[in-house]
Structure 1
Amino acid sequence: MKLHVITSLWPSRANPISGIFVAEHVSALRDQGHEVWVTVVSPKKSEWLEIDGVTPHYVRTLHLPVRFHRLHRPINTKLAARVAKWTLPKPDVDALIVHNQVPLGFCVPWWQSKTLPTAVIVHGDNPPLNDPDNAAWMRQHLPSIPEHVKVLPVGKTVVPFLDNLGVRHHAVLGNGTKYAEKAPGSNTPKQVVSIANMHKGKALDVLIDAFGLLDASWRLRIVGDGPERRALEEQVAALGIGERVEFLGRLDREATLAVLDGADLFALASTREPFGVVYLEAAMRGIPPVGCFGTGAEEIISDGVTGRLVPKRDPEALAAALEDMWGKRDALGDAAREDALGRTWHHYNEQLLAILGFSS
């Protein structure tokens, strides 16, 4: 089958982790014998990486800066759709797969040259579009989604966002993950790993507060970088746990997964996590994860069976969950891995193509 993947997310030289799940999805499609073309649509000109022999075509869209207009996001969406209509490559394919709703996903009827089976995979909500004026504009001006276009949110927490915009979704379809061998675990006792971009929604401050409540036998390694890093480092120093918390910065994909392989437990207490593929990556390795109720972690973690779920922004509950998981880590890890083995990208592709009307 011939497929065209159009995405605003793809690894770049500047950020080799961003959009890696899209690259893994494409690799799995190719492994299953499909021909795949990839186009990255973005206002930012970056050095997009070749992944598993795939070098994406790049289309640069027009982009109105935020400061010029309150409705910058919907206007940019329409601009991008108009540009794409004339500049997107048009290979002879059987279906389109569009990763992300902005800038193109919701506007397929504006730029699609053929009536092809199309999946629009929505990876999260979009705060600017939640603004009442923006949402009203989108509801008024978005074209109706035709029957051949299937809107697929990655998690249940994304559905209210779609409802607010008046966009009908076909089904919830969580991301897949790449197969991996079971991790060997750490060489030191009670090692927890967290992987996240350091912004407030990831709630790394809550995880650090939880570590302040645990005894000195616990260690935390954090992979990632971002605007909150300095504040988090100051928080660690103020709690006097600098010898137990290690900031590793942003690492490439291979190094990140090597750190994960050395973990006993995985923790990410995000308050806004539409899906959270990193929980699934930990589970695949037999590393039980802990996340929060009311987030995409619920799509992956069965509380007390494959990991733990705790209330948002509750360091005491998070610390207690880590203590509880330590004594049950083998059973939780085995159950998490068994579940993850049924969620690989190959399984995902079978479901996706069935939704588009193709047999596997």
Structure 2
Amino acid sequence: MTLPKIAYLTGEYPRASDTFIQREVAALRKHGHEVETCSIRTTGAEHLVGPEQRDEHARTFKVLDAAKNPLRLIRSHLRWLRTPGRYAKALGLAWRTAPKGIKGRLYNLIYFLEAGVLAAHLQDQGVTHLHNHIAKASCTVAMLSEALSGIPYSFTIHGPDIFFEPHHWRIDEKTKRARFVACISDYCRSQLMCFADQSDWDKLHIVHCGIEPDRYGKTWHSGQRLLFVGRLAAVKGVPILFQAIDKLKGDMPNLQLKLIGDGPERTALESMSKRLGIDDRVEFLGYKNQSEVAEALLQTDLFVLPSFAEGVPVVLMEAMASGVPVITTQIAGIPELVSHGESGWLVPPGDVDALCAALTRAFIDPPERQAMGEEGRETVEAHFNTHKEAAWLSQLICGYAGDNAPTTKRPEPTQ
């Protein structure tokens, strides 16, 4: 059976912080799909941290760069003007779904221009289905591309930030017009149900972001080395972790923290570590590629993610796949990955004392820590394996393309 040729679209691809999308693309290719990758913007050099990112970047179609070519832009839209009724409806959709204000209207008209170029590219490449990750501006382009070309789209919705401004991003209309929506967790699906029409609920499926467990070696240590991986942004709660280290440094002389990632808060966090007198215990490593993250996990004793808002963090999956016990916050979809007291510790977000208590508990009870690491790896292997999740996504794409669209949230147990 010939599988549909797919295109993938995000605002910026590939990014060092979105390696799960690259894994999903690679897994779909292994399942037999031809996948054309597309990115609205050109990825910054800081994200091209390894050969995998550089190879994907080289083969990815950059929509905005193509749209800046006047001849290509005009030719693309002249193609769709051959069906003036469809073109007018697509333009009307762009106007109708634009955020309030002149700026919102202007941006949606720009997205409409980009959609014309993207749709022409997809048609030229023989793509029959477009899938979008991150349901913001790039998903608007995907929706308008479908309105122009008739090439159907689906999207993966993550959260939590998309749910801060659901009306701005018109996730109701995007859901209505999509063939299906892949929600990364039950929590995420429930949030989308707040805004999507009830008639669309049946096409909201759960497709976990996943990892390749075999990429991560299983490890176990009994030291006091902590690891954080993520964007250095306010939402990740790193200052709470710094305050906890400050409180515990007297009782834990060997406590050390490495941070992998970068972001807008890095300078402020470096200053904070000096102000607290813990800069000799904290090391900022910047962005690292997948292999380097896997290696860092082999050298750590405990993974900590004190976020204030998350979807289902892939970095937690990576740590759990390595057998590293985790401490994180009891928010959003995280409890669907980490079971408190079984595969890790969950603490209230923003609570320094609770985080200190969890760190202390982890370090005074090594056997419990090891058992949690083992349970975490089993959880990830069973429910967050990118190859299994890509197979389910492929089933959704193929099913909706035919007459056998799946009717369950998740794959049947026999699959």
TM superposition score normalised by structure 2: 0.73
State the identity %. 23
8 Å Cα contact 1:82-1:111 kept in structure 2? no
In the other structure, the counterpart of 2:305 is 268
Moved more, 44-53 or 321-330: 44-53
| Equivalent residue letter for 2:64 | R
- Alpha-carbon distance, 1:236 to partner: 2.1
8 Å Cα contact 2:24-2:386 kept in structure 1? yes
- Alpha-carbon distance, 1:242 to partner: 2.5
In the alignment, does 2:270 pair up with 1:222?
Answer: no
In the alignment, does 2:121 pair up with 1:120?
Answer: no
In the other structure, the counterpart of 2:110 is 79
In the other structure, the counterpart of 1:20 is 19
Deviations 1:2-36 (A, max 9, x none): 33232225555xxx513221111111112223222
**Structure 2 portions without partners, runs of 5+:** 69-98, 405-414
CA radius of gyration, larger in: 2
User: For the structure 1 residues 248 and 75, does the alpha-carbon distance in structure 2 shift closer, same or farther, using more than 3 Å as the test?
Assistant: same
- Alpha-carbon distance, 1:267 to partner: 0.5
In the other structure, the counterpart of 1:287 is 324
8 Å Cα contact 2:11-2:137 kept in structure 1? no
- Alpha-carbon distance, 1:38 to partner: 1.3
In the alignment, does 2:136 pair up with 1:102?
Answer: yes
Residue number among 390, 401, 407 corresponding to 1:349 in the alignment = 390
d(CA) in 2 for partners of 1:274, 1:111: 27
- Alpha-carbon distance, 1:155 to partner: 3.0
| Equivalent residue letter for 2:116 | K
Q: Secondary structure at the match of 1:105?
A: helix
Residue number among 265, 272, 296 corresponding to 1:235 in the alignment = 272
Structure with the bigger percentage of helix = 2
- Alpha-carbon distance, 1:59 to partner: 0.7
Q: Secondary structure at the match of 1:318?
A: helix
In the alignment, does 2:2 pair up with 1:7?
Answer: no
Moved more, 277-286 or 24-33: 24-33
Q: Secondary structure at the match of 2:170?
A: helix
Residue number among 324, 331, 345 corresponding to 2:361 in the alignment = 324
- Alpha-carbon distance, 1:203 to partner: 0.4
In the other structure, the counterpart of 1:340 is 380
- Aligned 1:39-188 pairs, distance under 5 A: 39-42=38-41, 44=42, 46=44, 51=52, 54=56, 55-60=59-64, 72=103, 76-77=107-108, 79-88=110-119, 89-90=121-122, 91-105=125-139, 108-112=142-146, 113-114=149-150, 116=152, 118-126=153-161, 130-131=164-165, 135=167, 138=170, 142=173, 145-146=176-177, 149-159=179-189, 162-163=192-193, 165-166=195-196, 168=200, 170-179=204-213, 180-185=215-220
Q: Secondary structure at the match of 2:182?
A: strand
| Equivalent residue letter for 2:25 | V
User: For the structure 1 residues 354 and 45, does the alpha-carbon distance in structure 2 shift closer, same or farther, using more than 3 Å as the test?
Assistant: closer
8 Å Cα contact 2:237-2:308 kept in structure 1? yes
In the other structure, the counterpart of 1:30 is 29
- Alpha-carbon distance, 1:226 to partner: 2.0
Q: Name the Cα RMSD after superposition.
A: 3.2
| Equivalent residue letter for 1:83 | E
In the alignment, does 2:223 pair up with 1:199?
Answer: no
8 Å Cα contact 2:303-2:319 kept in structure 1? yes
TM superposition score normalised by structure 1: 0.83
User: For the structure 1 residues 253 and 163, does the alpha-carbon distance in structure 2 shift closer, same or farther, using more than 3 Å as the test?
Assistant: same
**Structure 1 portions without partners, runs of 5+:** none
How many residue pairs get aligned? The number is 345
User: For the structure 1 residues 223 and 137, does the alpha-carbon distance in structure 2 shift closer, same or farther, using more than 3 Å as the test?
Assistant: closer
User: For the structure 1 residues 329 and 139, does the alpha-carbon distance in structure 2 shift closer, same or farther, using more than 3 Å as the test?
Assistant: closer
- Alpha-carbon distance, 1:351 to partner: 1.9
- Alpha-carbon distance, 1:58 to partner: 1.4
User: For the structure 1 residues 40 and 189, does the alpha-carbon distance in structure 2 shift closer, same or farther, using more than 3 Å as the test?
Assistant: same
Deviations 1:124-179 (A, max 9, x none): 2446x745xx8278379x46724x61112223443465356546551232211122
